[in-house]
Structure 1
C-alpha cells in the first residue's frame, strides 16, 4: 500500500508530497488540471517508459518517489530478500529520477537498480487500469494471458496445479525447440558435409604435421637463434673468460690461491686472517662453479652454419601455425582437439539425425499430453471465469450482456503452430444485448462497455491476490448516472481488500470515496503549477461534488444533491 508520494518537477507539478490512505482514494478536478499526473507518476514507478518532455520546463530532472507499507504483502518481502535488497520493518522506498539526457536512475530502498528489476518488483505491488489497459484488452494474445492469470490464481480441483503443468509444458517445449535447432544445424552440416570434411582433414593434417612439442617451443628456438647468430662472439667470450680465470699468467684463480697460501704463513693464529682466508676460499669455490657454467655454455655453442637455417625454417612453420590457429602453440593444440571433435561429429551426422528424430517424436508426444492437460485446466477456468464476469457485468448494469471465453485447440495441427504457452488460442467474445450474436470485443464493445468489462475482469481476479495498490484512471469514461454509481460501488468493493486510487470525473464515484483529493492548477509567472490536496471535512467534499455535478456555477440545488449523495454513500 502506498503511504506517501513525493513528486518534483513532473510536468505541471513543481513539488508535491501526498499522504495516501487505505481504502478508496479518488482524485477529481476540472478538465486540464492534470488529474492523471499522479497516475502517470506512479506508472513511472512500475517501470514504464519515460519521456524527457515530462520534466517540468526549465528544470534538469524530475523525481518520483513512493513510500509503501509491505506488512501485508509477503510476496514483495520475499522478492526483496531473494534479490538482496534491505528492508527495515515493512517500509519500501521506490525512487526514479529522469534527466534531460534521457537517462534514468532507479533506487529500491536506497540501492541503485534497473528498470527491469523495478518492473518485476512493482508487478507484485500495483495494478493499473486505464484507457491504455482497455486497448491492451483488445490485443491478440491478451485473452490467453488473462485466462492463464486466473488459472494460476484460482484453485482448481485437478490432478496437477496449473502453474506446475505450465512449467512442465514449457520445459518440454524448450527441449523440443532446442532439438529442432540441433536438427537444422545437423541438416546444414550434412549438406555441406563433404566439403567441410575435406577442409577439416586438411587443417588437422597441417597441425599434426607440424609435430608441435612443448607450448613454448617457439620461445626456446628464439633463444637458440640468438645464440647461433652470435656463436663466434660467444665462443670468443668463453675462451677469454677461461684465460682470465685459469690459463693466463697471474690468472684470477691462481692469484687468489697464492694469496690464501701466504695467509697461512703470515697469520696462522690470527682469527681475522683466518676469516679472510675463509672468504677467499668461498670466492674460489664460486669462481670454480662459474667456470663450470661457462665451460658448459661454450661446449653447447653450435658453429654449424646450417643450424641457423634449420631454426629459422622451424620458426617460420610455427609462426604460420600460430597465425592460422589461435595465436599461440597452446591455442593451436586446443584447435586441433576442436577440429577432431567436429570431424567426428560430422562423421556421425546421419546417426545423430536419427537420434534427434526419435527424441523429437518422444518430446512432441510429451508436449501434446502436457498441452492437453493445460487445455483441460483452461477450459475449467474459462467456465468459472464466464460465470464470475457475467455476474459482475449484471452488477454493473449490463443485464443482457454475455461474456464468453472461447478456446481453440491447435492439437492435430502442425507442431509449428504450437506456442510456448500451449496448444490453445484464447478469445473473448461479447454481446452487449440479449438476442445479439457474440463477437470479438474489438468489434462490438463501446468505450463505456470496455471500461465495465475491464472492471469486471479486474474485480474477478483481484480478490484472489495479496493487497495491492490498484490505480484506475478514468475507468468511468463513457458512462454516467446510475451506471457510474454502480462502478463506484464496485471500486468500493475492491477497496475493502486493496488500496484504490481512482482519477474520476464522475460525482457518483467521488461520493463513494473514503478519501477525496482535488487537483487544481494556478499560473506562476511564466509557468503553471498543479496542486494536489485532500478535502478535509464534509463541507469541502460537498462543494467539490457539487462542482462536478454542475460545473463552474455551483447552485444550492447542486449542493443539496451533493449532500444527499454523500449521505447515501455513508449508509452503503
Structure 2
C-alpha cells in the first residue's frame, strides 16, 4: 500500500508531501490544476517512462520519494532479495532528476537502476486511465492478461519447456542436414583426398628427415673423393705403411743403440694406433656416403610429394597426417549420416508430439478461463448500467510459439445483436470507461497487494452511471487501496479520503498544491464540482445528499 509521496521541485510543484490511506482515496480539482502532475511524479519514482522535462523551472534538480507498506507475502520481497536490497518491511523509493537529464534512483538507500524500479512497480501499483498503457486496449497483450487471470504459470512453464525442446531438436536436425549437404557436395573431393593421403601416408617430422637425407646425398659425391684420398694417405700405402717400415728399421738396430731408440719406437707405436683409428673413422664415413643414385631419386620424389600435398591443402607438411584424420572423420560422418538423420527426425517427431500436447492443454485451460472471465465481466457490467452489453474473450489459432498457438482478443458488443469488435473501436468514451473498469476489476481481483490508480475512469459518464462507477470503485477499495483522479461529484462523494488539487499563480511563478479535506471542506469541493465556480447552499445540500447516499 502506498503510504506517502514526497515531491520536490518537479514541474510546478516546489514541495509537497502526501500521506495516503487504505480505502478509496479521491483527488479532485479544476482542469489544469495539476492532478496529472501527481501521477507523473509517482510514475517517475516508479521508473515509468514519461515526460522528459520534469525539473521545476529555476531548480537544479527534482526529487520524488514514495514509501510503501508491504506485507510478508508480497511479491516485492522476492525482487528485493534478487538484487540484494535490505528488506525492512517498509519500502522506500527515491529518484532524482537533474536539469541535464541524469536520473539516479535508490531503494531503501541502495542505489539501483530504473529497471529495478520498474520491476518493483509491477508488484506495487496498477495505473489505469482512459488511454490505458498497460495492455487492456492492446490486443497483443490480451493473452498475457488472460494467462495472469487464469494463473497459468505452471502450464506456461511446461509449454515453454516443450517448445525449447522442439526448437533444439529442429536446430540439431537442420544443422546435421546442412553438414551432410555440404559433405555430399564435396564427397568426391574428400574420397580422392583421403585416398591420396593414405597412399602417401606422411608422418610428422618426415619432411625434415627427407630434406636432410637429400642434402647429404647431394653433397656426398663431391666430398667422397677427397675423403677417399685421405683414406689412401692414411693406409698401408701411405702414412701407416711408412710408419711400419720405420718401426722395422729401427727395431733392427735398436740393440746396438744402447736404448736410445726405445722412446722413438714407443712413439711410433702410438702413432700407428692413432693412424689406425683415423683410418677406420674415414672408412666408416666413406661407407655412409655410399648410396644408390636411385635412392636419391626416391627421396626427392617423396619429399616433393609431401610438400606438394601440403601446398595443395594449405597445411604444414607435419600436419598432413592430422589433416588426413580430419578428412576421414568427415567421410565417416557422411557414411553414418543416414542413421543420424533417422534418429534426429524421430527426436523432432517426439518433441512435436510433446509440444502439441502441452499447447493443446494450454488452449483448453485458456478457453475455460475465458468463459469464467466473460461471466465475471457480465456480473461486473450489470451494476455499471451495461447489463445489455456483451463482453467476449475470443481465442483463435495463430503461429506456434513458446506460449502456445492461441491468439486472444477481448471484444465487446454494446447491445444485443450488434457486431462485436475491439474495445477501443466499438465502445464510446463513457462505455469504454466502464468496460475498462469492469475488466480491471476482474483481472486484478486477487491482487490485494496492489495499489490501484484510476485516472479519470469516469470520463464521459454522469448521473446514475457515474454513481454506479463510484459505487464499484468504493466496493473495489474495500480491503485494498484505490486512488481515483476524478471530475465526477458522484465518485468523489463516495471517497474515504479526499484531496483537492489547486493551482496557485502569482506574478513570479505558478505552482500546484494538494490539500487534504475535512468533512466541511469536502462538502464545499463536491458542491463546486456540482455547480461550478459559484458554490450555493443548494449545491452544498446536494453534496451532502450525495455523501450520505
Same fold (TM over 0.5): yes
Aligned-partner SS, 1:522: strand
Comparing 76-85 with 61-70, greater Cα deviation is found at 76-85
Aligned-partner SS, 1:418: strand
Give structure 1 stretches of 5+ with no counterpart: 153-161, 213-316, 318-323, 326-333, 411-416
Which residue matches 1:556? 537
Change (3 A) 1:478 1:15: same
1:334-349 aligned at under 5 Å gives the runs none
1:378-393 aligned at under 5 Å gives the runs 378-393=366-381
Aligned-partner SS, 1:463: coil
Which residue matches 2:524? 543
Change (3 A) 1:350 1:22: same
Structure 2 Cα separation of the partners of residues 96 and 337 of structure 1? 63
2:410 pairs, out of 391, 416, 428, with 428
Which residue matches 2:260? none
Superposed displacement of residue 492, structure 1: 0.8
Structure 1 Cα separation of the partners of residues 19 and 329 of structure 2? 67
- Would the aligned equivalents of 2:380 and 2:438 in 1 still touch at CA under 8 Å? yes
Structure 1 Cα separation of the partners of residues 180 and 506 of structure 2? 75
Structure 2 Cα separation of the partners of residues 147 and 488 of structure 1? 26
Which residue matches 2:357? 369
Superposed displacement of residue 131, structure 1: 2.6
Which residue matches 2:90? 91
Which residue matches 2:62? 62
Structure 2 Cα separation of the partners of residues 344 and 55 of structure 1? 70
- RMSD, aligned CA: 3.5
Superposed displacement of residue 191, structure 1: 4.1
Superposed displacement of residue 443, structure 1: 3.1
Superposed displacement of residue 349, structure 1: 5.6
Q: Does 1:177 align with 2:167?
A: yes
- Would the aligned equivalents of 1:7 and 1:64 in 2 still touch at CA under 8 Å? yes
Structure 1 Cα separation of the partners of residues 525 and 364 of structure 2? 52
Which residue matches 2:512? 530
Structure 2 Cα separation of the partners of residues 32 and 176 of structure 1? 56
Change (3 A) 1:210 1:558: farther
Superposed displacement of residue 43, structure 1: 2.0
Superposed displacement of residue 167, structure 1: 0.8
Comparing 131-140 with 439-448, greater Cα deviation is found at 131-140
Change (3 A) 1:501 1:349: farther
Structure 2 Cα separation of the partners of residues 420 and 372 of structure 1? 13
- Would the aligned equivalents of 1:51 and 1:102 in 2 still touch at CA under 8 Å? no
1:402 pairs, out of 379, 390, 399, with 390
- Would the aligned equivalents of 2:27 and 2:35 in 1 still touch at CA under 8 Å? yes
Change (3 A) 1:78 1:397: same
Superposed displacement of residue 454, structure 1: 1.3
Aligned-partner SS, 2:404: coil
1:278-427 aligned at under 5 Å gives the runs 351-410=339-398, 417-427=399-409
Superposed displacement of residue 181, structure 1: 3.2
Which residue matches 1:264? none
Q: Does 1:126 align with 2:114?
A: no
Change (3 A) 1:111 1:29: same
Aligned-partner SS, 2:533: coil
Q: Does 1:37 align with 2:25?
A: no
Superposed displacement of residue 344, structure 1: 7.6
Which residue matches 2:437? 455
Aligned-partner SS, 2:63: strand
Superposed displacement of residue 210, structure 1: 11
Which residue matches 1:151? 150
> Given the two structures, how large is their TM-score scaled by the length of structure 1?
0.69
Superposed displacement of residue 49, structure 1: 1.6
Change (3 A) 1:95 1:135: closer
- Would the aligned equivalents of 1:463 and 1:497 in 2 still touch at CA under 8 Å? no
- Would the aligned equivalents of 2:70 and 2:449 in 1 still touch at CA under 8 Å? no
Structure 2 Cα separation of the partners of residues 2 and 196 of structure 1? 69
Structure 1 Cα separation of the partners of residues 326 and 443 of structure 2? 55
Structure 2 Cα separation of the partners of residues 48 and 383 of structure 1? 33
Which residue matches 1:467? 449
Change (3 A) 1:49 1:404: same
Change (3 A) 1:462 1:140: closer
Q: Does 1:565 align with 2:538?
A: no
Superposed displacement of residue 550, structure 1: 1.8
Structure 2 Cα separation of the partners of residues 61 and 366 of structure 1? 56
Superposed displacement of residue 524, structure 1: 4.7
Which residue matches 1:251? none
- Would the aligned equivalents of 2:79 and 2:119 in 1 still touch at CA under 8 Å? no
- Would the aligned equivalents of 2:74 and 2:449 in 1 still touch at CA under 8 Å? no
Structure 1 Cα separation of the partners of residues 505 and 186 of structure 2? 76
Aligned-partner SS, 2:132: helix
- Greater gyration radius: 2
- Would the aligned equivalents of 1:6 and 1:18 in 2 still touch at CA under 8 Å? yes
- Would the aligned equivalents of 1:134 and 1:450 in 2 still touch at CA under 8 Å? no
Change (3 A) 1:108 1:346: farther
Structure 2 Cα separation of the partners of residues 341 and 101 of structure 1? 62
Which residue matches 2:254? none
> Given the two structures, how large is their TM-score scaled by the length of structure 2?
0.71
Aligned-partner SS, 1:529: strand
Structure 2 Cα separation of the partners of residues 137 and 45 of structure 1? 23
Change (3 A) 1:41 1:339: farther
